[in-house]
Structure 1
C-alpha cells in the first residue's frame, strides 16, 4: 500500500539554484545497493563535475518532497541520445542517471519519474524510449520489463565493470 505522505512528490525541471553536491550525494545513496552488489555504475562514484556534465547532456528532472530533491531522471531527446547502435537511431530517446532516495524506493516514485520521461519522449516526437542497466541487476531488468521495456541487446561501456542490457519501449505517436 502506498504511503499517503508520498502524494506530495512533485516533478520539476532541474534549476541552476539546485545543488550539484546534493544531487551527487543523492545518486551515490540511490545506487548504493548496486554498489554493494559490486556493480560500478557511474552514479555509484561520480564526482560533482561528472554529475554537472551529465545533467548538461539532457534535460534533468527532479522529484521533490518537502522542498528536498528525493529522486531524479535525466531525459535525452533523440538528438541527445547517442553512444551505441541503438542509441544512435534517429527515433530513439533515452533516460539515464535515474535514482530515488533509498528509503523511498518501491513506493511508486520511480514509476512516476519514468512515466514523466515517457511523456517528454512522446512530446519530442520519439518513437522509442531506451535505457541500459547492468545485466547482473536482474531485479532492475525485471522491473523495467514490467513497465513495458523490451530487450534490445547488450553493450559493454568502458566505464563499467559489467555488461549492460539495452532495453527500449515503443511509444505511441505524439499529439
Structure 2
C-alpha cells in the first residue's frame, strides 16, 4: 500500500506502549531504557507502529527517507517501502564505502561524528529523517545539518519514541512526528 495515496487511512487504535519493555539502569545507572525489540517481534503492533509513522510523515511527500544508525534503520526501511521512496543511511565513521561527507557534533558528555555517502542525496531532494528515539535532539539535529550540507531539503523528522521531558523537540528546526511519547 502506498500510504501517500491513502490519506484517509487510520491505523487501529491500540496502545503501543504495552509492547515496549522498560529496563531500568541500562546501559548505565539512572537511565530508563525503552526496549523496542518487544514491539518489533509482535507483527501486529509493529505493522501498526509503521503505519502510524507513515501516516504521520506522508504529508511531507519525501523523495528519500534517511535512517540514523542503527535502530533508525529498523523504522526507516519499512517506512520507505510503504511510502514508495528511496532510503539512505546516516552512519558512524568507517561504516560506509566510497567517499563520505561528515559532521561532528556535541553530546552532553563528549563529541560524535556521523557520515553519509557523498552521492546519497541530490540537491533539492526532499528528505525525512527517522530515528527510533528522540531524547535530547543532538543526533537528530546533527543529521539535519549534515543533509543540508549536501543540499537536501529536510521536510520533517520522525521518531518511534519521543522522551518529552528531555526537550529534544526544542532543538529540532523541522516539523517532527512522534509515534509514542513518554513524559
Alignment TM-score, normalising by the size of structure 2: 0.29
Q: Which has the larger Rg? A: 2
Alignment TM-score, normalising by the size of structure 1: 0.30
Higher strand share: 2
